[in-house]
Amino acid sequence: MSVRKWLCLFFAAVLLFAAVMAGFNILTDPFGVFGDPVLDWYEYDMTMNPRVAKIAYLDRHYEDYDSYIIGSSKCSSLSPEKLGEYTGGRYYNMTWYGGDLVDERALVRYIIEHYRVRRIVLAVDPQDTELFDTEADSMKGNMHCKVDGSGKLAFYAKYIFANPGYGLEKLSAMTRRGYLTNADSVYIARTGAYNKQLRDASRIGALDEYLAFENNYYEQAPSSMPHLDGALEAVADIVGLCRENGVELTVVGVPLYAGDLERYDRERMEEFWLGVAEITPFYDFWDFNCVTEDIRYFYDVDHFRNCVGDMALAYIFNDPGVWIPEGFGHLTTPDNVDARVAQVYADREAAPESCKTALPILMYHSFGEGGNNVPAAELESHLAALRDAGYSAVTYDDLFAYVSLGIELPEKPVLISIDDGYKNNLDIAAPLLEKYGMCATVSVIGVSVGKDTYKDTGVAMTPHFTLEEAVPWIGRGVLDIKSHSYDMHQVPERDGEDCRQGVLRMKGESESDYVATLTEDFRRSSEQLEAVPGLRSDVFTYPNGLYDTLSEVVLQGLGARATVTTDYGVNVILKGIPQSLYALKRISVDQGLGGAELLSRLDALMSGDTLR
Q: Are strands 303-304 and 91-93 parallel, antiparallel or unpaired?
A: unpaired
Position 213 scores a pLDDT of 80
Full set of structural domains in the chain with CATH:
3-347 (no CATH), 356-606 (3.20.20.370)
| Residue-by-residue DSSP string for 329-392 | -EEE-TTTHHHHHHHHHHHTTSPPPP-EEEE-EEEE--BSSSTTPBPHHHHHHHHHHHHHTT-E
Average pLDDT value for the chain: 94
- State the CB neighbour count (10 A cutoff) for residue 7: 10
Higher per-residue pLDDT: 214 or 554: 554
pLDDT for 214 beyond 90: no
Question: What pLDDT is stored for residue 267 in this prediction?
Answer: 96
pLDDT of residue 609: 61
Res. 24: pLDDT tops 70: yes
Residue 403 to residues 249, 269, 358, 413, 540, Cα–Cα distance (Å): 31, 33, 13, 14, 17
pLDDT at residue 101 in the model: 94
Residue 4 has pLDDT above 90, yes or no: no
**Other CB atoms closer than 10 Å to residue 412's CB: what's the count?**
16
For the segment 326-350, what is each residue's pLDDT rounded down to a tens digit? 999 999 999 999 999 999 999 888 8
Strands 67-70 and 91-93, by their bridges, are parallel
**What is the Rg, in whole angstroms, of the alpha carbon atoms belonging to the chain?**
29
Q: Are strands 282-284 and 91-93 parallel, antiparallel or unpaired?
A: unpaired
Task: Give the pLDDT confidence of 458-478 residue by residue, as tens digits.
Answer: 999 999 999 999 999 999 999
Q: Is the pLDDT of residue 26 over 70?
A: yes
Is the pLDDT reported for residue 318 higher than 90? yes
* pLDDT score at 10: 67
Per-residue pLDDT band for 150 (boundaries 50, 70, 90) equals very high
**Model confidence pLDDT, tens digit, residues 528-580:** 999 999 999 999 999 999 999 999 999 999 999 999 999 999 999 999 999 99
Return the percentage of the chain with pLDDT > 90, whole number.
87
Is there a contact between 422 and 465 (Cβ–Cβ < 8 Å)?
yes
pLDDT tens, 117-144? 999 999 999 999 998 888 778 899 899 9
- Amino acid identity of residue 529, one-letter, is L
Res. 196 pLDDT band, cuts 50 70 90: very high
The pTM score is 0.95
Could you report the per-residue pLDDT of 387-445, keeping only the tens digit for each?
999 999 999 999 999 999 999 999 999 999 999 999 999 999 999 999 999 999 999 99
610 pLDDT exceeds 70?
no
Question: Looking at the predicted structure, is the pLDDT value of residue 110 above 90?
Answer: yes
What is the per-residue pLDDT for 134? 81
